[in-house]
């Protein structure tokens, strides 16, 4: 069965068509600048050339239409008709505490996702637009919602509650939800496979280090804690997000700089992280690392601060799980940065096999043989994980 995986943002839409049985990618692409002048479609059939085409996309329905046209195009398409697409899997950012697993989309599910909109005002409404547009173009095709938050729903109460009046949890469901769940689930399960161990017997820490970064503790196949919270601002230091700070800094800055809540939130979301700590040098880890190697002080400081926060969480999660069997690195930075992995493992006093540490794009164990705690690099594949979940539900 061919499964279409859709990750819909407010002005962009990423898609992949995957053969759910062989798990091979058939085609992938991106609709950019939806609803903005200059919209375009980027489309790549597997083994073929990347095409970039200007297409008018006033809304998500037009974007989905353009995507389906590309997939069925006589010359460069990959399916003869839409009937060949057996199901659609949608990435949904926030399922609140309503969804602990993926689910077939129906009207009731759509209303439940809508009710989580205020928890992810930038993402969930866009995800819903993608669902509505697919429904219009492919009314008979089953659709599945796969939530970024679902994997973390197994956290115990003591891990998801904040130390604020309980009435706010009862009234507004203010609690830790966590994100990147599809990746944490995929990478932790794959870690057990690569080690040839039973997933249900392992204590794993997954470091998903990308532009957005989060870390999770997975004990016996279940997530017991994760660093992102009510929103993806909490936890690790990220590309431009602050991660954990003393909440009183907000009041202090408000007085000193005469700023309102929106301005402060903008600083914490867009001007902080390694961008902020490097004194504005860059939010891109490639730039930061190149300058780090050349001895640039701003970037040395930024990378050290970033690594320190990761180490602090690894320590906390090791304590929460009563030990750790494996630490897995994934996502843009986690997969591609031997320097950061070296810095983090030096703190933890875990010796790395440098020949493995410099490999890219494959599952590798990078700790030396015999290491009590294994360290791995596992490339994440959220689209494949969504396709698997979708297949399991529509089969
Ligand atoms: P997101 O999905 O949150 O946007 P990604 O997982 O795509 O993030 O990661 C993006 C980050 O990965 C960027 O900061 C980028 O610089 C970093 N990255 C990508 N390739 C490399 C590399 N070769 N070395 C270091 N960092 C890299």
For the CA of 287, the closest atom of ligand 1 is 16
Distance 42 CA to ligand 1 centre (A): 20
For the CA of 380, the closest atom of ligand 1 is 6
Distance 84 CA to ligand 1 centre (A): 34
- CA nearest ligand 1 atom 7, residue: 332
Predicted local confidence at residue 170, as pLDDT: 97
Please, which residues bridge with residue 218 across strands? Answer: 204, 223
Measured distance CA(290)–CA(109) in Å, rounded = 46
Residues flanking ligand 1, CB < 6 Å = 210-212, 239, 284-286, 289, 331-333, 336-337
For the CA of 340, the closest atom of ligand 1 is 25
- CA nearest ligand 1 atom 23, residue: 336
* Dihedral of the alpha carbons of 364, 317, 96, 32, in degrees to the nearest 10: -40
- Three-class DSSP category at 281: coil
Measured distance CA(243)–CA(345) in Å, rounded = 21
Distance 1 CA to ligand 1 centre (A): 32
- The model's pLDDT over 322-349, given as tens digits with 9 standing for 90+, comes to 999 999 999 999 999 999 999 999 999 9
Predicted local confidence at residue 10, as pLDDT: 86
Which residues of the chain have a pLDDT value below 70?
A: none
Indicate the average pLDDT of the chain: 97
Picking from 93, 100, 102, the residue whose alpha carbon sits closest to that of residue 3 is: 102
Distance 61 CA to ligand 1 centre (A): 30
Contact between residue 61 and residue 137 where contact means Cβ atoms under 8 Å apart: yes
Separation of first and last alpha carbons in the chain: 9
Q: How many Cβ atoms sit within 10 Å of the Cβ of residue 164?
A: 11
Active-site annotation, residues: 148
Domains (range + CATH), the chain:
2-147 (3.30.420.40), 198-382 (3.30.420.40)
């Amino acid at each position: 069965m061919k499964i279409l995986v859709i990750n819909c943002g407010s002005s962009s839409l990423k898609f992949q068509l995957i053969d759910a049985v062989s798990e091979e990618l058939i085609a992938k692409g991106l609709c950019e600048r939806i609803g903005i002048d200059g919209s375009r479609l980027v489309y790549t059939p597997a083994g073929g050339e990347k095409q970039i085409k200007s297409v008018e996309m006033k809304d998500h329905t037009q974007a989905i239409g353009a995507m389906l046209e590309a997939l069925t195009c006589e010359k460069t398409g990959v399916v003869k008709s839409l009937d060949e697409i057996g199901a659609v899997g949608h990435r949904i950012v926030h399922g609140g505490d309503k969804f602990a697993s993926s689910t077939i989309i129906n009207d009731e599910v759509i209303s439940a996702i809508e009710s989580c909109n205020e928890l992810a005002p930038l993402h969930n409404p866009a995800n819903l637009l993608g669902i509505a547009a697919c429904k219009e173009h492919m009314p008979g095709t089953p659709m599945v919602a796969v939530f970024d938050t679902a994997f973390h729903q197994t956290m115990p109460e003591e891990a998801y509650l904040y130390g604020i009046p309980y009435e706010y949890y009862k009234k507004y469901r203010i609690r830790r939800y966590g994100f990147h769940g599809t990746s944490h689930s995929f990478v932790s399960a794959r870690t057990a496979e690569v080690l040839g161990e039973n997933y249900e017997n392992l204590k794993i820490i997954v470091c998903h280090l990308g532009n957005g970064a989060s870390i999770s503790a997975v004990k016996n196949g279940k997530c017991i804690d994760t660093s992102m919270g009510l929103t993806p601002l909490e936890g690790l230091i990220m590309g431009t997000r602050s991660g954990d700070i003393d909440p009183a800094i907000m009041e202090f800055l408000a007085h000193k700089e005469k700023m309102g809540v929106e301005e402060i939130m903008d600083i914490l979301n867009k001007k902080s992280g390694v961008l902020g700590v490097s004194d504005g040098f860059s939010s891109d880890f490639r730039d930061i690392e190149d300058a780090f190697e050349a001895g640039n002080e701003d970037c040395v400081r930024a990378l050290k601060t970033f690594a320190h926060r990761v180490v602090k969480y690894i320590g906390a999660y090791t304590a929460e799980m009563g030990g750790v069997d494996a630490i897995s690195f994934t996502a843009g930075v986690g997969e591609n940065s031997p320097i950061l992995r070296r810095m983090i493992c030096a703190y933890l006093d875990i010796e790395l096999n440098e020949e493995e540490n410099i490999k890219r794009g494959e599952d590798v164990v990078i700790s030396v043989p015999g290491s009590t705690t294994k360290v791995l690099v596992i490339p994440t594949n959220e689209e494949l994980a969504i396709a698997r979940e979708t297949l399991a539900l529509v089969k």
